[in-house]
Chains A and B, each alone.
Chain A
Amino acid sequence: MKGILSVMGRELRAFFFSPLAYIVAALLLVVNGLVFWLIVSYLNDPRAGFGAPLELFFGQTLYFWLVLLFVAPVLTMRLLSEERRSGTIEVLMTAPVTEGQVVVGKYLAALLFYCFLWLPTVAYPALLAYYSEVDWGPVLAGYLGVLGIGALFLSVGLLASSLTKSQLVAAILTFAMLIPLFTFGLLENLFSDAPIRELLSYLNLWQHMEELGKGIVDTRHLVYYLSATVLFVFLSARALESRKWR
């Protein structure tokens, strides 16, 4: 536990000291702010349909996904590849910690920083609550989705980072893995076979967020995020260990 905490602490500090993290934070807030403003002004138009602003905010716009697809590689690309490039991995892996502890520590740091990035968006429902009624259930469900899908994306980035010494390659690799992960589900309507449709629908992240935004929490989806995340974190630890057998 202490091993995990010390790795996590160092990594979190590195996040807060790196300019890149602030660029990501700024981008996330600008895009989210813009989207929120657009949604609210759209819904203010009397001719517009009914809907809760935050339902649309969570996952109903392409921006949400674009930002997520951008944030995950940037936050995770440094995690393990930089240690390998600079050689600090040698000091780290001769300390009395296991590969698993190192990987989990780093992953948790990225996840915490990701949560920190989303923290200011809590202002949106708070703002809405000031002017009107807010149904808090769907809002919480929406944040659950943000956390679950973020956790999954970050674990993919962690794995990519464990495979290479180059941050750039890690980022591109993450992107290359996230694109199919995200788009497979969208192909659902192209198939007429029931089993394939069902499978793709199970993987359809867009649809998951749509449901969560409405306040429908389907535990099957949460199981999917959690198990995939655990798998990717586990694979990262294996990849880090693989230096021993080459």
Chain B
Amino acid sequence: MIDAQGLTRRYGEFTAVDGISFTVDEGEIVGMLGPNGAGKTTTLRMITGFLPPTDGHLTVGGRDLFSDPVAARREVGYLPENVALYPEMRVAEYLRYRAMLEGLPRAKARPRISETVKSCFLEEVENQIIGTLSKGYRQRVGLAAAILHHPSVLVLDEPTVGLDPKQIIAIRELIRELGHRQTLLLSSHILPEVELLCDRVIIIDRGRIVAEGSPRDLQDSWVGNTILRVELKDDPGEAPEVLAAIPGVVDIAFGDTGCYRLECSTSTDPRQSVFEAAKERGWVLLELAREQASLEDIFVRLTTQEPVPSSGRGELGDASQEEVPS
């Protein structure tokens, strides 16, 4: 549905997007992930036909964006980052305007608008002036306008930014529902969101794709060693040596008293050995758990130059959960 080859965009001297290539197939939900300024918005703007690429080849819905821009734009529905609407218009009026702009015949537009209003839960504000709406409603009006003409590709730039937790849940539900119907490309810097919604993730940093694949694939190929969390009661003194000697354990780190983090090579699963070592010596095993590296870890590792200290992992995960309730 989207086919980008060697897509490049320069602003003067600055290269915002640097020769990225990817495809999005029909019916897929793809998330574009990256820190601020990574080139997400620029990439999306090129796909929607707002900005032409400086270099590269781009087709959307089989239409070349360069030679046939108007037809290609018809295939795309777009929700820009800061959902910009005309504050003086009423919701229904705005949707009528957008339907006309998209070239929907009047007879077709009327049922389409009422259908969209319903699916975006906008019935109560249909006749309200857009300027008086809350951010959540505005986001939904933007989304309604983007899907009004049933585009084959839907592009959403940071669809949940600036919403409260309740609104985030509502928008995500809506997005998931839309994902069943059309190809969807969304950008976000919120990892759990992408993990939750997308079939496939493209991580970009400084204008380049640094990793691509399903959340599962990314985990498998980027986690490296598994972390085993062990907590022992009363912290037996000999524990460090014994644990480090277990086959498969590459490295050992200490936490609070009695807490250990064992780094194990991927192919091995030393959980049984740990249990048996504890049983033999009469230690009381309070916790034995394997930590899966989350997309967050991969993301941080790929988009920062410094390696992430392993002790920082848990903290990062917690912080993100506070920030983004799901």
Contact = CB atoms under 8 A, between A and B. Distances in A.
Interface in A81-132: 86-98
B100 A88 contact: no
A219 interface: no
B70 A97 contact: yes
Give the size category of B's interface with A. Answer: 20 to 34
A14 interface: yes
A5 interface: yes
A13 B89 CA distance: 9
B45 A6 contact: no
Given A5-B100, A6-B97, A7-B101, A93 B84 contact: no
Nearest to A92: B101
A98 B70 contact: yes
Give the size category of A's interface with B. Answer: 20 to 34
A4 to B, nearest CB: 11
B103 A10 contact: no
B78 A94 contact: yes
A90 B97 CA distance: 15
A159 to B, nearest CB: 22
A192 interface: no
A2 interface: yes
B49 A94 contact: yes
A95 B52 CA distance: 15
Given A94-B48, A96-B103, A88 B78 contact: no
A9 B100 contact: yes
4 closest Cβ pairs, A-B complex: A87-B84, A6-B100, A96-B74, A94-B48
17 contacts: A5-B100, A7-B101, A10-B89, A13-B93, A86-B86, A87-B80, A89-B84, A91-B80, A91-B142, A94-B48, A94-B49, A94-B50, A95-B98, A95-B101, A96-B101, A246-B11, A246-B12
